[in-house]
Amino acid sequence: MALIYPPQCLACGEAVAGGEGVVSLCPACWPDAAFAGASCCGSCGVPLPAGLDGEDGLICDDCLGQPRPWAQARAALVYAGTGKKLVLALKHADRPDLAPALGAWLARAAGPLVTPETVVVPVPLHLRRLMRRKYNQAELLAGHVAKAHGLTLAPRLLRRVRHTEGQDHRGVLDRVANVAGALAVDAARAAPLARRPVLLVDDVMASGATMAEAAGALAAAGLGPIHVAVLARAVKDA
């Protein structure tokens, strides 16, 4: 099969070395992929200088000034270069085939945040956007994370009860206002999961406004602690 379908770079489609089933990046795309790594803010997952580890309680300046309504967060990639290209392909270019590989990267990044009791919850899309895109990229990623760790997946626990415009090119306050009241928990599905820890999954986190709205809704429904895992973390000046 490798002769008919040779291994290809996830980002650009160029052939890569390896046997059947290899999932990788080519030599041109690899240097432009910034993996977040373990040296990160324990609260939001933003990369910190090498040698500083979020597990030791280090927090970035933004989180010191604005505490997050969740316990910890991790990201697989920085939202720049190849990382941004992969996220946009998964999200807007009809590439759900990327989800297994990207979900595996996210599962590794999220490893320190999960326990056997953790429930994996994707950030939902509004029905209008779901019908246009045909799939929810956060749900695809969450499914692979849950499978990798043997965890419960709850894809319908959170609902979008109000359509929102995209968050791109908005300031922090506008982002918060845009998603205020847009997410709700299905009470019937939440009841059996009360007090279970949650891993909240999305593709990208920038200001954290959407994740904060989701985390608040989950906590109010009696779930928690809440942890956050995103495929890519937007970084200032990245």
Contact 39, 233 (CB under 8 A): no
The per-residue pLDDT for 1 is 40
On whether the CB atoms of residues 107 and 99 are closer than 8 A, the answer is no
Structure confidence by residue, pLDDT tens digits, 132-156 = 889 999 999 999 999 999 999 999 9
The strand ranges marked E within 1-135 are 72-78, 119-122
> Nearest-CA neighbor of 235 among 78, 31, 51, 40?
78
Res 18 pLDDT > 70: no
State the Cα–Cα distance between residues 120 and 147, nearest whole angstrom: 10
Average pLDDT over residues 217-236: 95
As a whole number, mean pLDDT of residues 14-22 equals 66
Distance CA 41, CA 58 (A): 6
Residue 4 has pLDDT above 60, yes or no: no
Bond before 7 cis per omega within 30 degrees: no
Gap between the Cα atoms of 64 and 183, Å rounded: 26
- In 3-state terms, the chain is what percent helix, strand and coil (to 5)? 35, 20, 45
Of the candidates 133, 129, 123, the residue with the CA atom closest to the CA atom of residue 199: 123
Given pLDDT bands bounded at 50, 70 and 90, which one contains residue 95?
Answer: very high
Contacts with 231 (C-beta within 8 Å, 6 or more apart), sequence order: 75, 76, 77, 86, 87, 90, 102, 105, 106, 141, 202, 203, 204
**Tens of pLDDT along 198-223?**
999 999 999 899 999 999 999 999 99
| DSSP secondary structure code for residue 5 in this structure | S
More confidently predicted of 39 and 92: 92
- Give the pLDDT mean for 85-90: 96
Structure tokens at 119: 């429930």
pLDDT at 127: 85
Over range 108-127, report the average pLDDT.
95
Instruction: Please tell me the distance from the alpha carbon of residue 99 to that of residue 104, in angstroms, as a whole number.
Output: 8
- Asked if the model's pLDDT at residue 54 lies above 60, the reply is no
How many CA atoms lie less than 13 Å away from 124 in the CB half-sphere?
Answer: 23
